[in-house]
Structure 1
Amino acid sequence: MFQASIYIELGDGGKALFWSDRWLQGKSLIDLAPCLVDVVCGRVKKKRTVAQALQNKQWISDITGALTVQVLLEYLQVWDRLQGVRLQENQPDKISRRKKHGLQDDDTCVLCNQSSKMIDHLLIACPFSREVWFNVLRKAGWESVTQNLHMDHLASWWTEARKHVPKPNRRGFDSLVVLICWQLWKERNDRTFDRRVRTINQAVDRIFDEISAWSLAGYRHLEPVSPITITVVVAI
């Protein structure tokens, strides 16, 4: 689904993969000439850029399989389409996302509608994510580790936070961190692909539901923070 939702705005052809990426008027050669692509070595398909393929018509040499009638027909169709392709020197290829597939065409965070969609922002620096972290850690009894939630890098905060957790509880703490990150990522995907939005309270409830499920399945390290009911207090 993800691969089908992106396409390449062709520049110098240095990044776009000739045989697999969607760079030819929003389509890939897999879409346009599947039989032709099938007779190209898999290793070549993963590495051949558009710039390399068009130089001295290198793409023709990539065709090494049996030349059936359908392959020859698709070869002629591709040849015809390539006649209008012009690379733009010193202009990098650009990856774009199609709105019709439910993806954004900008880099705005879908959780807070601001700043960047970099992974550290999404998982810890985003205001929505920080509220979730604060509420979950507070209810789990690890409020002391929330003091450094202003950090913008997850790995740095995680390393520092573990120092404030007793050694016998660190495995459970690490598991909780992974679980929160996973749920934030799922929230991002739900908003991006399904347009389904949860409030902070609902996101926190969802995390504790998972904690309970893990505990019932036999994972003992999260049992101390597995409540029956949850009351969420949103951080100010």
Structure 2
Amino acid sequence: MTDERWVRHLKQNLPAEATREFTVLWSEIHHTALGTEPDSITWRWTANGKYSSKSAYGIQFEGSLRASFDKFNWKSDASGKCKVFRWLAILGRCNTADMLAKKGWSHDPAYALCVGPLEDALHLLATFPYTASFWQSVLQQFNMSLVLAPTPSTTSLLEWSGQTTGMVPAKERKAWSSLVQHIWWITWNERNARIFKNQRSTALALLEKVVEEAGLWHVASRRKANSLLNRPREPN
């Protein structure tokens, strides 16, 4: 770099892009002064300047945004399969008819729970008349306000989850999250039973399944959802 001798090694007749890059490089190093100390290599992502695989993994997510629903999803008292399904549903990744169409897989475009256009997670889990009836019966059984139920105007599972979580008392939010995951899982299983087994259940029968499984969760020390059964009824 002394006396800018590095410039002499550039080839002649540089194309326009290379000339632009050269100009940028020259402006960056033009005022650089070399010291007499030997060079050293340090890793900027750790306090001691030493590389670690943990820090390398962490910088892959530098500047990324965490999903806003991770806490109320993963910290509930529901079983793992219910948590994973709710996560996929909110992300729009469960294999409803619309996703099967995108993947090019064979599918029946008709709704399994209702007559309507192409099935998707929002309609299946929130706005179908059958699903709406199921939600109403569950909230009544668990003595919770009916305003928590999704409505035909619900446009996002994520927004509805966040709004209803904020409407529930803080001490019952894990219980509410567990109940939502449980209801979605029961609804999904009913949909699959109709498609693959040609078996149909009424909304009242699904309610009985919710109560029964909540009791089993209680026995397995997952008592949050079942605790809602004994709470005072809320006004609507």
Higher relative contact order (CA 8 A, sep 6+): 2
| TM-score, length of structure 1 as denominator length | 0.50
| TM-score, length of structure 2 as denominator length | 0.50
From the CA coordinates, give the structure whose radius of gyration is larger: 2
